[in-house]
Amino acid sequence: MPEIKKYIFDPKTLTYQIVKRPRNAKLTRFVLHSFLTFCSAVLNIWIYTSVLGFELPKTVMLKKANAEWVTRVEVIRNHLDEYDAALTMLQVRDDDIYRSLFGMSPISREVRNAGFGGVDRYDYMDGIGDGGLLRNTAVRLDVLTKKTYIQSCSFDEVSKVAKKAGEMASCVPKISPVIPDRNNFRLSSGFGVRIDPVYGGIARHNGLDFAIEAGNPVYSTGDGVVEEVKINYSRTGFGCYVLVDHGFGYKTRYAHLSSVYVQQGMKVKRGDFLGKTGNTGKSSGPHLHYEVIYMGRPVNPVNYLDLNVTPEEYSTMVRHVEAESAVTLHPFHQKRK
């Protein structure tokens, strides 16, 4: 490698002397100086952070920014707590009041939880933030959003049913299934636990028994659709009976009939003639077994009966219904003699 010439003045000889140095000497000095500078910087940083316990300016800035974001996320979480509590109150009122009032089934917990669970869609957030703060907040926000959507859909359903509230008033079973003339019937067995009149022993009775002579008319206690007609002239079960679906969660059953004047699928109004009382099925004597079923469970019919209506008022209502239908009634099923 070519040498670099450098002239140095010699005071003794009063002349310039030539000093020859390798060309890479300058590069070597530069590299050595840079290395020493780097080591010095690293040493200073180590002393500043580890020995003296100070933080670098950039670290201080990042921690400050992180603290601000953590505070903002905490504020969001507090708001989510408030929104979740408010939504829970709406859900309770929706199931216990609104949906129950209109005979609608409550929304299951699985549906209200928006189907969460299973595949974890938030793995990419693991380790981000203090103790998974950001991940947990994202999950809660997503769940709350979907729960709110479910509740909104429920209110839409309730709103549609509420517009038909007038129809509900005529569908709820509110009258006696037989003409309320106390001279023609008596309430022989109430709702609840009783002694079985046929087999003996304690048994649950899910309806109300009207002890009445066979052949008396039986009327629908509310508007609805005939869901089922069962013909059974043996001495088992309900015998011949009619089951009417009134909508809004209500159904009524009229059992132990001697004849039936309606068929499955027929629309009936309150006061429409369904059949005649009898003694079919498991029965100890002529009577009408009447049930009110709400949301799939038998309830006490007494809570829905208005036995204070006079026989005259009741008969007037029946004649009015018959005039509106203008249909000649004939039995579809009656016991052969």
Question: Do 258 and 313 share a domain, yes or no?
Answer: yes
Ordered DSSP codes for 31-64: HHHHHHHHHHHHHHHHIIIIIS----HHHHHHHH
Task: Report d(CA 97, CA 85) in Å as an integer.
Answer: 18
Task: Report d(CA 174, CA 116) in Å as an integer.
Answer: 43
Question: Do 218 and 286 share a domain, yes or no?
Answer: yes
Task: Report d(CA 248, CA 100) in Å as an integer.
Answer: 9
How many domains does the chain fold into? 3
| Residue 185: C-alpha distances to residues 80, 173, 181, 277 (Å) | 61, 20, 7, 11
Whether 85 maps to a domain, the answer reads: yes
CATH number of residue 245's parent domain:
2.70.70.10
Residues 6+ apart with CB under 8 A from 55: 49, 63
Whether 57 maps to a domain, the answer reads: no
Whether 215 maps to a domain, the answer reads: yes
Question: Do 225 and 330 share a domain, yes or no?
Answer: yes
Task: Report d(CA 114, CA 99) in Å as an integer.
Answer: 19
The verdict on pTM exceeding 0.95 is no
Task: Report d(CA 83, CA 124) in Å as an integer.
Answer: 26
Among residues 132, 163, 194, which one ends one of the domains?
Answer: 163
Whether 56 maps to a domain, the answer reads: no
Domain residue limits at 24: 3-51
Question: Do 155 and 237 share a domain, yes or no?
Answer: no
Task: Report d(CA 114, CA 146) in Å as an integer.
Answer: 6
Question: Do 151 and 232 share a domain, yes or no?
Answer: no
List of E strands, 166-272: 185-189, 192-195, 202-205, 208-212, 217-219, 224-230, 240-247, 250-260, 267-268
| Residue 300: C-alpha distances to residues 4, 38, 169, 293, 305 (Å) | 117, 91, 19, 9, 10
pLDDT in tens, the chain (337 residues): 555 566 676 777 777 677 666 666 667 777 777 888 878 777 776 776 666 666 667 777 777 777 787 788 888 888 888 888 888 888 888 888 778 777 777 888 888 876 655 546 666 666 666 657 777 888 888 888 888 889 998 888 888 877 777 778 888 898 999 999 989 999 999 898 888 777 777 888 899 999 999 999 999 999 999 999 999 888 888 999 999 999 888 999 999 999 999 999 999 999 999 999 999 998 889 999 999 999 899 999 998 888 788 899 999 999 888 887 755 566 666 654 4
Q: 137-182 pLDDT, tens per residue?
A: 888 888 888 888 899 988 888 888 777 777 788 888 989 999 999 8
The phi, psi pair for 259, rounded to 5°, reads: -150, 155
Q: Supply the pLDDT for residue 336.
A: 44
Whether 317 maps to a domain, the answer reads: yes
CB burial readout 159-182, b (16+ within 10 A) else e:
eebeeeeeebeebbbebbbbbbee
Task: Report d(CA 78, CA 297) in Å as an integer.
Answer: 42
Question: Do 268 and 190 share a domain, yes or no?
Answer: yes
Question: Do 215 and 181 share a domain, yes or no?
Answer: yes
Question: Do 196 and 330 share a domain, yes or no?
Answer: yes
Question: Do 190 and 271 share a domain, yes or no?
Answer: yes
Residue in the block written with tokens 């043996």? 234
